[in-house]
């Protein structure tokens, strides 16, 4: 009986119990992960599809948009230091539009992620903010879900804008002599999104043919 409560025995016993708990709960988590994975993947795809549908009307193309994408290498000029993706919309095999990922690093609070849809002729189909940390109630009108003017959201002004008509210097807010609106009190968020949308649109427009020609799932190296 004297050996029953020695330090070694206690350590081994508690260590063993800890191990058992770890194994049991890791197994629980692993099985939850396995069970939920197909459903999570499906809802992730659906959410992505919904986002793409906001910038490009679903009726305007007929290919499987989510599968028809090209990766591009590091492109710091559009904020994608680690590269990003471009989805290619086609109708009856003919190019319709590109949807490109972009980002702004000059927002009020960190990175602002974007998707920008550009028609074959360089016209913008739409811009959406995918992630941001701008001040709630002030700069967050860049996200139409937070925009108080539901009928004329700020971000809608990019629809129909053309890269060829609006030159680089004008792709900013009116306060800086550009051609896009901003809301009083929060210029920085609007300026960051406007410039980033312009840069991403230019990036896609300048590489339109190369992006459409690249094999699906492939990598476009020419990004500088």
Partner 1 sequence: MSPQQFRDISWNGLWKQNPGLAQLLGLCPILAISTTMVNAVSLGIATVLVMTVANLAVSGLRNFVPYEIRIPVFILIIAALVTMVDLAFNAYFHDLYLVLGIFIPLIVTNCIVLARVEAYAAKNDPLTSTVDGIMMGIGLVWVLALLGGLRELLGAGTLFSGIEMIIPGASAWSVFGDDYPGFLIAILPPGAFFALGVLIAVFNVINARLAARARRQPPPTAPAPATRAEGDGEAVAAG
Binding residues for partner 1, rule: CB under 8 A, are 10, 13-14, 17-18, 21-22, 25-26, 28-29, 32-33, 35-37, 39-40, 43, 46-47, 135-138, 145-146, 148-150, 185
In 95-104, which positions are buried (b, 16+ CB within 10 angstroms) versus exposed (e)?
A: bbbbbbbbbb
> What is d(CA 169, CA 188) in angstroms, rounded to the nearest whole number?
17
Please name which of 144, 118, 133 lies closest in space to residue 188, comparing C-alpha atoms: 133
Please name which of 59, 56, 93 lies closest in space to residue 204, comparing C-alpha atoms: 56
Q: How far is the CB of 26 from partner 1 (least distance, A)?
A: 8
Cβ proximity to partner 1: between 48 and 179 the closer is 48
Please name which of 206, 8, 21 lies closest in space to residue 118, comparing C-alpha atoms: 206
Cβ proximity to partner 1: between 3 and 136 the closer is 136
Q: How far is the CB of 128 from partner 1 (least distance, A)?
A: 14
Residue showing tokens 């002004």: 157
Q: How far is the CB of 192 from partner 1 (least distance, A)?
A: 18
Cβ proximity to partner 1: between 5 and 224 the closer is 5
Cβ proximity to partner 1: between 172 and 187 the closer is 187
Q: How far is the CB of 11 from partner 1 (least distance, A)?
A: 9
Q: How far is the CB of 83 from partner 1 (least distance, A)?
A: 25
Cβ proximity to partner 1: between 6 and 10 the closer is 10
Q: How far is the CB of 186 from partner 1 (least distance, A)?
A: 10
Cβ proximity to partner 1: between 36 and 168 the closer is 36
User: How long is the chain?
Assistant: 224
């Amino acid at each position: 009986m004297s050996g029953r409560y020695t330090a070694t025995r206690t350590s081994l016993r508690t260590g063993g119990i800890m191990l058992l708990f770890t194994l049991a709960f890791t197994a629980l988590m692993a099985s939850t992960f396995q069970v939920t994975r197909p459903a999570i993947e499906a809802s992730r795809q659906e959410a992505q599809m919904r986002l793409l549908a906001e910038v490009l009307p679903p009726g305007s193309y007929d290919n499987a948009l989510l599968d028809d994408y090209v990766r591009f290498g590091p492109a710091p000029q559009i904020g994608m230091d680690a590269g990003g993706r471009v989805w290619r919309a086609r109708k009856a095999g003919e190019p319709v539009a590109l949807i490109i990922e972009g980002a702004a690093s000059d927002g009020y609070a960190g990175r602002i992620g974007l998707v920008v849809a550009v028609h074959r002729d360089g016209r913008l189909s739409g811009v959406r903010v995918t992630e941001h940390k701008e001040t709630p109630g002030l700069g967050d009108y860049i996200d139409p879900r937070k925009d108080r003017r539901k009928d004329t959201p700020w971000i809608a002004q990019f629809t129909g804008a053309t890269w060829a008509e609006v030159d680089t210097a004008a792709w900013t807010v009116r306060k800086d002599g550009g051609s896009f609106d901003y809301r009083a009190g929060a210029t920085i968020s609007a300026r960051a999104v406007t410039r980033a949308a312009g840069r991403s649109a230019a990036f896609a427009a300048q590489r339109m043919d190369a992006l459409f020609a690249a094999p699906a799932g492939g990598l476009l190296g020419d990004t500088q």
